[in-house]
Each structure stands twice: as C-alpha cells, then as structure tokens.
Structure 1
Amino acid sequence: MGAEVLRGLLGRVRYEVLPAKSTAEKVLAHVPRDITVTVTASPVRGLEPTLGLTERLAAHGYRVVPHVPARLLRDDAHLKDVVDRLRAAGVDDVFVPAGDADPPAGAYAGALPVLRRLSELGSPFADTGITGYPESHPILHDDITVQAMWDKRKHATYIVSNLCFDPRVLGDWVARIRRRGVVLPVYLGVAGPVHRAKLLSMAAKIGVGESTRFLTRHASWFLRFATPGGYAPEKFLGRTAEVLGGPSAGVAGLHVFTFGQIAETERWRRALLDRLG
C-alpha cells in the first residue's frame, strides 16, 4: 500500500522554482508539460521576475502557479494589475503567502486581506493556495497558524505545507487541522534531492527566493542537507506515505522544493517511479 500511495504522490507533483535567469531554460529542457511549476517571489527583486517567468513558461504550455506575496503588493490597484496580467497569460492558479518583505511594500501585511480582495474581485483564479506550517513557524505560535488557515479557508482551494522532515510531526499536523475543520486539500512540501555544494551556493545568494531564505533561517534543517546521510527524500516519502496514505488526510500531491536543481529533481522522480514499478 505504501508503494502504491507513493507512486500516486509522485504522479501529482508541483515543482517550486526560483525566478533566476537560467530557470526557464532548465524547465523547458527537463520538466514535462504535465507537471505544474510554481515560481517564488523575492522581497529584494520584487514581483517582476516572478511575473515575467510565469508568462514565459505559460506561453510554452506549462501550468504555472506564481507566488504573489501580500507584502510585495503596493495597494489594490497593484493587485488588480497583477491579476489582469496573470489572467492575460492564462494563469488560473496563484499561491498567496504573507511573504518576507520588511517593511511591506504597501498596506497588505498578511495574506488574508489579499485573499478577501481577490474574492471581492470575483475570485479571478480557479485555484488559490495558502501556506501551512507542520513544524513551528519561526515567529508565530502554532495555534495562530492553524487559526489563520481556518480564517482563510473560504478564500482558498488548497494548502501547501512548508518543509517538514518528521513524518510523525507531519501526520499530527494534518490530523490537527482536520479536527479544526480545515478540509482544504494539502500539497506536502518536501525537499528534492539536494547536493550540498549547490545548496551552499544558493544560500550564499541574496534574494533568490523564499525557499532558500527559509532554509537559512532554520540552521538545524540546513544541517540535515549538509550532513552526509542526513536527508534522503525517498526515505522520507516512504515513511510519509504510511502516515498520510488514507483518504481522510486529504493529501492532493507533492510540492517539491527544487532549490534550483531542476534537472536533478526530475531525474530523481523518474528513477524512483521506475524502482516502484
């Protein structure tokens, strides 16, 4: 049963990529068109690189999900411009986190006001994602993050869980939000195969994307990648499949953090599917 669940999850993946100059070429060369690509946003560089890469990949036939952090939006007019631009590109799914910009670019300090405004605009996207935190947020208490998902549930269609390396913690978190009445499907946030040298290089850059900054803020997590034998995605997923394979968990698929290693991530996924038969 675990292998069957794992095969299903590997067939329903989303790759998170950084809006770097070489990303489009890497995606076009290595990622099949039936895999959804999500594009992060940087508080240093702003939304423009995210929107530009989204438009380029969408024009090549990919289903692209741009990150639209609330704290990067200047005002309602800016949000409306972003919505119009994404709709024109054929985008029907956005991911709305609060974001890391400090101070915020405008009036939006969190995701909920943006989600409410999107609803007032007629819910222009078929799908809208929000963030979940299986392992504690570095600033917010767990009760607050769970309550935030409850508050956002009417304006969103799915949750993306942030990185977690403990299947037990992940299972407990999913059970907790279900008890709270949050029934949105969850994409499990997992790290793909990460090479130490490349990860260190990525972490040294400034403003390359939310995923890299997230790692650098969690030193113990970073060590899991940097230590030989410290993290293997297939082992983690094997244990996760046993914990979250039931229909009550509501797991929609995997949200894979590629950390710029797009070709390596897709080769890993294909190889694991081959081993699973």
Structure 2
Amino acid sequence: MSFTARPGSSIIDAYSLEVSAKDIPALTAVAPRILPGSMVSIPYLPREDNDARLTAAQAVRRLGFEPMPHLSARRISSLAELDAFVKRAVAEAGVERCFVIAGDPSTPMGPFSDSSSLIETGVFERSGIKVVGVGGHPEGHPAMSAADRWDVLERKCDSIGRRGMTPLIVTQFAFDADIVLTWLKALRERGIDHPVRVGVPGPAGVAVLARYAALCGVSACASMWSKYGISLGKLFGTAGPDVFVDRLAAGLTEAHGKVSLHFFPFGGIAQSVKWIEQYRARAEPTTR
C-alpha cells in the first residue's frame, strides 16, 4: 500500500459551518452529507430577530447537529432579553454552546458594551451552557492593537473557565496560513491551550471573497491574496481554500494544540460541502 494523503486530511474531518437563519433550507438539503453532531454556528444578523435565531437553532438540532447561536453584546437591549434568549435556546433547542461577540454598533443598545460583559452576567452557566466561544483575530482587528487583543482574549478565556465552562476560540476567516500558524504558536506560548477553530472562506467568486474581506477588515494586500492562490488581477472565477488548507495542515504540529476548521460558506453551503467532499477524497490514502 502506498499513501498519497493530502496534508489536510485530519483537520478537515471535524469541520464546522457558519449558517444564518435564512440559510437553514440550504443546510437541510445537504444535511445527509455532513457528519452527525457537527457544530453549526448561527450568526447574529441585524435583519433576523431572536425568534428567527431560535427557530434556526431548533432546526439545526433536529438535523442532528450542534447549534451554536451567536450573541451580539451591543445589540442586546437588556439583561432580561439575554436571559430569556439563552434559557429558551437551552430548553427549546438543546443548546449547549454559545458564541459571544461585541457587535458592530458603536453605541450599545443596552447595558452590554462587549462580549466580556455578557460572560460576566452569569447567565450562561446558570442556564446550563457548557461551552462559550470567543473570537480570535490572527490577521488583526480594526479597533484593537495586538497587545490589547491578547489581553482581552486571555481575560475572556479565564473568565469562562472560572465559571465552570469550556472556552472555544473561533477565528475570523483568514487568507494567509503562515500568519495563522504564527498566531497559533504565540497563543500556545501564552499558555492558552483551548481548542481553536480556524475560520476558512468557503469556495466563492473571487470578487465575493474580496468584498467579504473588505467588510470584515481582513487584509487584502497582493502578497496575502497570492498566498491564498488568488491574483488580484483576476476578479472573475471561483477560488477555493485548497492552498490555504494544505499550507495550514502541513505546518501544524502537536505544539499548535487542538485545531480544526470552521467554514464560512460565502459561495453557498452546498458549494462548501462539495468542496470538502472533493478535498477529503483527494486526501484519502490510495493503494497500488
């Protein structure tokens, strides 16, 4: 037997997906092709209300997956709203994990200015939440310095752990695997050993990827795009994360800790699942 396994064959096995409430029908259509128990993250979009998010979480649970609804601190109007949503999510959708973010508004709609303030309410552990996800930013953050990013991440993880829950770090989608590997090394050197899910842009049109990158403040320099396998002179056609996943997987060692992939399906859920299936097939060992 000879093995021609591709580097990404291990980290791609336990992937997770980002799926908005409006995309539940698309998730339902491909559900039989996704590993049961996979994590499905439900973003907090301003055009979707709490009932829509709860309905989405219920659908994800019925499909046999683990729902992880997002909570946007600056968009939550009161402690009562937070408490009611989390309790309903646990009772009605069996939610065991939530993801907390500050959110886009510069002025909070209620008492919560950042994700730390949500964690500190005690709502999550009292409601039975077991895992709290927080964001990681290997390629930078538009409003925080590198030192501030590390300080905030360490404090949030410590607070979650002290409350008897498990921290999960989910990074913003990235395009430069070398930057991600360097960030993971620094993370572990700081003693932060919690599981990390690295954000990966699913296959999509190059112009679509560029637009999402700009909206999220992700660097879009020519050298970064080239490392991802994209030429800025060719904004037509579709690009997949083959080069990124290959480079990331090849560079990972035991020192990087527990790392898996989290897909942002910008080109559609079906397209991302198809890419994963094809990549996995190419990564499997072959016999002669």
Q: Tell me the TM-score range normalised by the shorter chain.
A: 0.7 to 0.9
Show the counterpart of 1:195.
205
Show the counterpart of 1:115.
119
The answer to whether the aligner puts 1:100 opposite 2:94 as a matched pair is no
What CA RMSD, in Å, does the superposition of the two structures yield over aligned residues? 2.8
Preserved CA contact (<8 Å) 1:12 1:252: no
The answer to whether the aligner puts 1:146 opposite 2:150 as a matched pair is yes
Preserved CA contact (<8 Å) 2:39 2:65: yes
CA-to-aligned-CA distance 1:128-168 (integer Å, 9 cap, x gap): 11000001101111111111111011205210011221122
Task: Pick one of 126, 130, 137 that aligns with 1:133.
Answer: 137
Report the secondary structure of 1:96's partner residue.
Answer: strand
Task: Pick one of 265, 270, 275 that aligns with 1:258.
Answer: 265
TM (norm. structure 2) is 0.81
Show the counterpart of 1:241.
249
CA-to-aligned-CA distance 1:56-81 (integer Å, 9 cap, x gap): 22233221111112122222211110
CA-to-aligned-CA distance 1:1-36 (integer Å, 9 cap, x gap): 99465111111100112222xx11111111325232
Letter in 2 for 1:17: V
Preserved CA contact (<8 Å) 2:75 2:110: yes
1:96, CA displacement in angstroms?
0.9
Change (3 A) 1:259 1:182: same
Matched residues, number: 263
Preserved CA contact (<8 Å) 1:9 1:253: yes
TM (norm. structure 1) is 0.84
Q: Structure 1 residues 5-14 or 52-61, which shifts more? A: 52-61
Preserved CA contact (<8 Å) 2:86 2:127: no
Show the counterpart of 2:168.
158
1:266, CA displacement in angstroms?
0.4
Report the secondary structure of 2:181's partner residue.
Answer: helix
Q: Distance in 2 between matches of 1:93 and 1:228?
A: 38
Give unpaired runs (5+ residues) of structure 1: 204-211
Q: Distance in 2 between matches of 1:222 and 1:37?
A: 30
Give unpaired runs (5+ residues) of structure 2: 161-165
CA-to-aligned-CA distance 1:96-137 (integer Å, 9 cap, x gap): 111113322211110111112236743621211100000110
Q: Structure 1 residues 30-39 or 151-160, which shifts more? A: 30-39
Q: Distance in 2 between matches of 1:45 and 1:6?
A: 35
Task: Pick one of 2, 6, 9 that aligns with 2:8.
Answer: 6
Letter in 2 for 1:252: V
Show the counterpart of 1:209.
none
Q: Distance in 1 between matches of 2:214 and 2:281?
A: 30
Q: Percent identity?
A: 26
The answer to whether the aligner puts 1:30 opposite 2:2 as a matched pair is no
